[in-house]
Amino acid sequence: MRTTAVLSRDPAAAFSIEDVEIDEPRGGEILVRIAAAGICHTDLVTRRAGAADRPILLGHEGAGVVAAVGPEVRAVRPGDHVVLTFRHCGECATCVDGRPAYCQRSVALNQFGRRAHEGARVSREGVPVLDGFFGQSSFAGYALTTEDNTIVVDPALDLAVAAPFGCGFQTGAGAVLNVLRPTAGAWLAVFGAGAVGMAALLAARSVEGVRVVVVETSAARRELALELGAEAALDPAEGPTVPRLRALTGGGVTHAIDTTGVPAVLGDAVAALATGATVVAVGLGAGTPPVDVGDIVLRGKTIRGCLEGDSVPSTFLPHLLGLYAEGRFPVDRLIGRYPHTEVDAALADQRAGRVVKPVLTW
């Protein structure tokens, strides 16, 4: 199948729009005609760390329509509308325990995982393209996926809206609904109001009586957070956030989520917690956060890591999409649509804060 793709040939250069060949589905593979794919921070980080001597095909928030399936596929049919998410083996101890985001084969399956059959999945003029990112590499008009990362959805859904549910929206919302589980009267602090942080805000607002305060450097995103229901939006440039959070909440937040991956920010999140409260860290960063161990112990605080919202995508994504259909998870305000040929404009708008979640369309 010949189609166009957004390729990275050099981490220091711009993406390029090129024609590629996608192989037919074999064994348990599924060929999806991609309608839309969200751009996630993980794509950009992986691109910078990727090889510079060959084309790399990224994309892990794809959505589209099934075009064909391999002979071993049972649960997905041609014509199904689908959202693509992360891969998991379904057989290891963590998968069996209902925690597929921590699959023991996660790296092998999601970081440009190898094909089980001979022949390249994607090639460019006969040269294999590095693909298989999150089992999809969906920055192309077609993608080869598998049943474990392909979720069938309502065909009435707008696929450009549905695409980011596969990673970014799932991560933020899951951290709140699956891990923190705030109830009426709770105060949630969201550090970083990108796509993940905004999804956390919207998820918290879907629970009656939960109040949210956002800590964010971008004035445009602080304003949007207030429009989406945040009680307050703090600019860290205006002074230390911890005393302001304690004053606002009457002693400390009951729940917090750090989406930034910045050690100092996670340290602030811990310091702002009330007694017995929990902060969930979802941002991938490096370094050691400055935390007071005595404060953690004496006040019973918890720091908890979280991947992909601790979700089971086959059940959690339909739940989130149901909230969206009911008007209780209005992510439309976060999304900007761009033809895939305008990927540079999409990235520029994201960097400038003009859009929270850019989505490429085919």
pLDDT digits (tens, 9 = 90+) for 226-278: 999 999 999 999 999 999 999 999 999 999 999 999 999 999 999 999 999 99
Write out the two tokens for 32. Answer: 């999806």
Q: What is the CA radius of gyration of the chain?
A: 20
Alpha-carbon distance 26 to 138, whole Å? 18
The average pLDDT across 176-189 equals 98
pLDDT for residue 188: 98
Judged against a pLDDT cut of 90, whether residue 284 lies above it is answered with no
pLDDT band at 54 (very low <50, low <70, confident <90, very high): confident
pLDDT tens readout for residues 298-343: 999 999 999 999 999 999 999 999 999 999 999 999 999 999 999 9
Domains of the chain, first to last:
2-166+330-361 (3.90.180.10), 172-307 (3.40.50.720)
Q: Give the residue from 3, 34, 47 showing the smallest Cα distance to 21.
A: 3
- Phi, psi dihedrals of residue 34, rounded to the nearest 5°: -75, 130
Alpha-carbon distance 327 to 11, whole Å? 39
The average pLDDT across 104-119 equals 89
Checking DSSP bridges between strand 29-38 and strand 357-361, what pairing results, if any? antiparallel
3-state secondary structure the chain: CEEEEEEECCCCCCCEEEEEEECCCCCCEEEEEEEEEECCHHHHHHHHHCCCCCCEECCCCEEEEEEEECCCCCCCCCCCEEEECCCCCCCCHHHHCCCHHHCCCHHHHHCCCCCCCCCCCEEECCEECECCHHHCCCCECEEEEEHHHEEEECCCCCHHHHHHHHCHHHHHHHHHHHHHCCCCCCEEEEECCCHHHHHHHHHHHCCCCCEEEEECCCHHHHHHHHHCCCCEEECHHHCCHHHHHHHHHCCCEEEEEECCCCHHHHHHHHHCEEEEEEEEECCCCCCCCCCCHHHHHHCCCEEEECCHHHCCHHHHHHHHHHHHHCCCCCHHHHEEEEEHHHHHHHHHHHHCCCCCEEEEEC
* Averaged pLDDT score across all residues of the chain: 95
pLDDT band at 50 (very low <50, low <70, confident <90, very high): low
The average pLDDT across 184-205 equals 98
The average pLDDT across 122-127 equals 93
Judged against a pLDDT cut of 70, whether residue 53 lies above it is answered with no
The average pLDDT across 102-111 equals 95
Write out the two tokens for 207. Answer: 């629970």
